[in-house]
Amino acid sequence: MAALIFTGCSENGDTSAEEKKTDKSLRLGLFNWAENIAVTNMWKVLLEEEGYEVEIVTGDKSPVWTGVAEGDLDLHFEAWMPSTDKPLWDEYESSIEKYGPWFEGTALGLAVPTYVDINSIEELNDHRDKLTYNNESAIVGIDSGSSLMKLTQQALTDYDLKYNLISSSGPVMTAAVTKAYEKKEPIVATLWKPHWIFSQVDLKFLEDPKNIYGQNENIYLVAHKSFADDHPQVLEWMRNWKMDDGSLGSLMAVIKDADSPEAGAQQWIEDHRDLVNSWFE
């Protein structure tokens, strides 16, 4: 299990998490998912505007959950429920609380532009001559070792799809989809939601009658049991906080092109003050 990466020290050496904590200090857990990077940095900027001292602590997914449960971290923003993170929830339920959801309707699957006249994976074989990439019937994928690609390999078998699954990367896939969309050309790709591309391109997920890709979920924040008592005002703000494909997608898109995640979050906040202010009413 990877350890959390703790930062910060005093003149006399390392300072423990407990010694560092004050009534207006917060430690936010972060693992390396695009939406997690986006909202964690957004909340760092917002809370610092309200006078809080905020530290982002980076680690793998399981250690971040452990850090919150043990009180080394105050919260993290990335619990996919009811299915994906149920094992972690079951393990730590006695020490944590979940709040939200702040995002509803996650999804995994095969997506096409909305102008493509098919609605189900079962229809793909009837459109092999149109859904091409590099002159072959193909599904544009991402990294070969990803869970999404493994599920798509299963879909190829279970639906008997006569397509080549192209392994590439997230940026290559999004570039291919964007280029096709600009030309109004058909394309089918592996995608997931939340993703910044949904704020810039009109896409739809194909229906999955065999349920290869599972059911849609919601994203919650998870906090230590004491958080509600320790930081009731912060919790009130976060309970007011909701994002959708448009708002979260635009936040991720700005951060993607910014010099740093925090700089991108600051820019997005300035451009969306009315929305942000509604969370603090």
pLDDT digits (tens, 9 = 90+) for 216-271: 999 999 999 999 999 999 999 999 999 999 999 999 999 999 999 999 999 999 99
Q: Which amino acid is at 214?
A: G
- For a pLDDT cut of 90, what percent of the chain falls above it? 86
Residue 4 above 70 pLDDT? no
The structural domain count of the chain equals 2
- The answer to whether the CB of 127 falls within 8 A of the CB of 118 is yes
Q: If you average pLDDT over residues 35-51, what whole number do you get?
A: 97
Q: Are 224 and 241 within one domain?
A: yes
Q: Which amino acid is at 117?
A: D
* Closest to 35 measured CA to CA, from 111, 101, 87: 101
Q: Are 25 and 44 within one domain?
A: yes
Residue 20: partners with Cβ closer than 8 Å, 6 or more residues away: 8, 27, 55
Residue 178: partners with Cβ closer than 8 Å, 6 or more residues away: 197, 200, 201
Q: Is 267 helix (H, G, I), strand (E, B) or coil?
A: helix
Confidence of residue 22 (pLDDT cuts 50, 70, 90): low
pLDDT digits (tens, 9 = 90+) for 114-155: 999 999 999 999 999 999 999 999 999 999 988 899 999 999
pLDDT at 165: 98
Cα separations in angstroms, 162 against 129, 138, 198, 241: 11, 9, 27, 44
CATH code of the domain in which 265 resides: 3.40.190.10
Query: Does 4 fall in a domain?
Result: no
- For a pLDDT cut of 70, what percent of the chain falls above it? 92
Q: Which of 179, 205, 231 is the last residue of a domain?
A: 205
Residue 46 above 60 pLDDT? yes
Query: Does 211 fall in a domain?
Result: no
Query: Does 90 fall in a domain?
Result: yes
Cα separations in angstroms, 136 against 105, 115, 149, 162: 32, 20, 19, 10
pLDDT at 84: 86
Provide the domain limits for residue 55. Answer: 9-105+217-279
CATH code of the domain in which 180 resides: 3.40.190.100
Query: Does 3 fall in a domain?
Result: no
Q: Chain-wide mean pLDDT for the chain?
A: 92
Q: Are 90 and 18 within one domain?
A: yes
Confidence of residue 160 (pLDDT cuts 50, 70, 90): very high
Q: Which of 178, 205, 232 is the last residue of a domain?
A: 205
Query: Does 210 fall in a domain?
Result: no
